[in-house]
């Protein structure tokens, strides 16, 4: 699936104010600084669709972008940023939880993980929560160019082995680099085939 058009639609902190039409959401989430904005820009072949963060944790909004007039790319706030106050962490949890639980149009979440890091408790906790809430998700390892191919493969394998301790079935995963445009076609292909599948079976 080629991305031909991409435009910003709305930012908010409330699921009630998200677009009300039936186009499916594909949501992107991960820890602050994981490379989410870079990945979104690379995926959409746009320089500044999502703002690459100069101050991590600043953009605490649900951002909808309309892609190809057919689906929404949803840029969710980064989690786990230490300098955010307890109060705003709690607010964040509430509206993100609400988004995931109540957004009927949500088709798939992309959970971003920095390939250089071993499994972190906050990511594992989030993955566990998504699994228990039965929200469809895939894993996207970012910044693969920062490691050799061999080391990158070992990191992914280590991550999946850790998840296997808790899960019977492992989620689908992608290895990407926004810097080298690695994995973008695979992600676009995944979104394209998911859209084809749901256009025949799902009505919201
Ligand atoms: P966000 O906070 O998750 O949106 O992360 P950003 O996209 O702002 O990226 C955080 C930092 O990681 C920035 O300095 C980016 O230049 C860098 N970065 C993001 N993606 C890549 C990548 O694929 N390769 C490399 N080498 N650096 C990256």
65-75 pLDDT per residue, tens: 999 999 999 99
The set of residues, in sequence order, having a beta carbon less than 8 Å from that of 142 and lying 6+ positions away, is: 30, 34, 35, 36, 38, 39, 112, 113, 114, 115, 176, 177, 178
Largest CA distance in the chain: 45
Provide the pLDDT for residue 94: 83
pLDDT digits (tens, 9 = 90+) for 141-161: 999 999 999 999 999 999 999
pLDDT at 102 over 60: yes
pLDDT digits (tens, 9 = 90+) for 39-80: 999 999 998 888 765 555 456 789 999 999 999 999 998 877
Å from CA of 198 to ligand 1 middle: 31
Structure tokens at 72: 């929404």
Percent of the chain past pLDDT 70, that is, above it, reads 90
Residue at 204 is within a domain: no
- 19-33, 72-86, 135-149: segment of lowest average pLDDT: 72-86
Q: Residue 34 CA: which ligand 1 atom is closest? A: 3
Å from CA of 176 to ligand 1 middle: 12
Q: Residue 146 CA: which ligand 1 atom is closest? A: 26
Residue at 137 is within a domain: yes
Contact criterion met (CB below 8 Å) for 95 and 12: no
If one residue of 32, 38, 180 were mutated to test the ligand 1 pocket, choosing by the most ligand atoms within 8 A of its CB, it would be: 38
How much is the mean pLDDT over the chain?
A: 90
If one residue of 33, 34, 35, 39 were mutated to test the ligand 1 pocket, choosing by the most ligand atoms within 8 A of its CB, it would be: 35
3-state secondary structure of 75: strand
Confidence of residue 91 (pLDDT cuts 50, 70, 90): confident
pLDDT at 200 over 70: no
Q: Residue 176 CA: which ligand 1 atom is closest? A: 23
Instruction: CATH number of the domain at 23, please.
Output: 3.40.50.300
Residue at 203 is within a domain: no
Provide the pLDDT for residue 52: 65
CA distance 183 to 86: 36
Provide the pLDDT for residue 202: 53
Residue at 139 is within a domain: yes
CB within 6 Å of ligand 1 — which residues?
32-38, 52-53, 56, 78, 142-143, 145-146, 177-179
CA distance 45 to 53: 18
Residue at 1 is within a domain: no
CA distance 39 to 34: 9
Residue 99 belongs to domain spanning: 6-198
- 94-98, 102-106, 150-154: segment of lowest average pLDDT: 94-98
Q: Residue 30 CA: which ligand 1 atom is closest? A: 3
Q: How many degrees, rounded to 5, is the angle at CA 59 between CA 54 and CA 60?
A: 150
How many domains is the chain partitioned into structurally? Answer: 1
Residue length of the chain: 204
Residue nearest atom 27 in ligand 1 by C-alpha distance? 143
The helix (H) or strand (E) run that includes residue 184 is helix 184-201
CB contact burial 156-167 (16+ within 10 A = b; e otherwise): beebeeebeeee
CA distance 128 to 60: 22
Contact criterion met (CB below 8 Å) for 95 and 89: no
Provide the pLDDT for residue 6: 95
């Amino acid at each position: 699936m080629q991305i031909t058009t991409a435009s910003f639609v709305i930012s908010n902190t409330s699921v009630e104010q998200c677009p009300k039409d039936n186009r499916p959401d594909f949501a992107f989430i991960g820890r602050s600084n994981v490379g989410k904005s870079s990945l979104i820009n690379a995926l959409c072949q746009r320089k500044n669709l999502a703002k690459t963060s100069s101050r991590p944790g600043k953009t605490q909004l649900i951002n909808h972008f309309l892609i190809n007039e057919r689906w929404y790319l949803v840029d969710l706030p980064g989690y786990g940023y230490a300098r955010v106050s307890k109060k705003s962490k709690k607010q964040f949890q509430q509206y993100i939880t609400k988004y995931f639980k109540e957004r009927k149009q949500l088709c798939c979440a992309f959970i971003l993980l920095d390939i250089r890091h071993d499994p972190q408790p906050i990511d594992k906790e989030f993955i566990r929560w998504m699994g228990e809430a039965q929200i469809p998700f895939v894993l996207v390892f970012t910044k693969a160019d920062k490691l050799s191919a061999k080391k990158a493969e070992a990191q992914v394998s280590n991550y999946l082995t850790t998840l296997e301790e808790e899960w019977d079935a492992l989620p689908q995963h992608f290895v990407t680099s926004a810097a080298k445009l690695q994995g973008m076609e695979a992600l676009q292909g995944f979104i394209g085939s998911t859209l084809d599948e749901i256009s025949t079976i799902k009505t919201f």
